[in-house]
Structure 1
Amino acid sequence: MTQRDIFTDVAAILCPIPQPERGEEHDDGFLAARDQAAEEQENIVWNLRMAWENDDHDPLIDALAGARRAKEQAEQRIRQLIAYSREFVQPRPYTLGDVAAAVGMSISGVRTAYSHRDVAQVADATGAKPREWRAPDPDDGQTAA
């Protein structure tokens, strides 16, 4: 039984090489994507090995931590896009139902998915002014009247 190489295995998970569908033609676009993925895998293997040899970084733990960071960033982008769809689009915001269907959430989940902080980040990023908020920011210590 041959021993698995963790560096190669982690790279294959992080950057899978596209496989053709049964009966699919191998056009130039597919072949280029396959070659690019193979090259990216080789780069990942090299980077993982260097991190292990130079800094004693575990390739699997580092890949898991990187995936967690990517997930957190994606969740933040989703919150900001939801905030934009509900608080910045004029003359009317996107419907809760349309946004919920797009992100795979319930309508009530969309309603509570973003905060004043997310709205402020969208305003900073876009320069746009949000519509008036109906509820106070819970972070500012005020209570609703």
Structure 2
Amino acid sequence: MTLDAKVIWKSGLAFTGTANSGFTVNLDSDPAVGGSDSGLRPMELVAIGIAGCTAMDVISILQKKKQDVTAFEVKVTALRAPEHPKRFTDVEIEYVVTGHNIDPAAVERAVELSETKYCSAIATMRGCVNFTRKITLHEATS
């Protein structure tokens, strides 16, 4: 399977990115480095990609496990090296699951499967980035 992506320059440091799906995203940079602040930063997209990849795995697994999830959020906090290329060095992924009688073991297993078997974004960066996780469960009020 091939993934094709491209960016087309608009002006300054602003680009429009597209990929196989046909959706577009605006990219830009901070004005302090010459951008006009008109889009997401490339490394923000990397963090969103990690969050989205594992989130899709985890919610799919929890649905198969018949967990009554009413809300789900994945937060990524990434630390970057101070020197160029300013790569990610540490990434904490927090899984926030809200629902009725959620089984903590089911969530732990879903996260483990995503992080070790299914999430291609994490697999691509494994060995280059120190990943940690946090799981937060909330009982739904209604």
Q: Identify whether the pair has TM-score above 0.5, normalized to the shorter chain.
A: no
- Compare the two structures and name the one with the higher helix fraction: 1
- Compare the two structures and name the one with the higher strand fraction: 2
Taking CA–CA contacts closer than 8 Å with sequence separation of 6 or more, which of the two structures ends up with the larger relative contact order? 2
Over alpha carbons, which structure has the higher Rg? Answer: 1
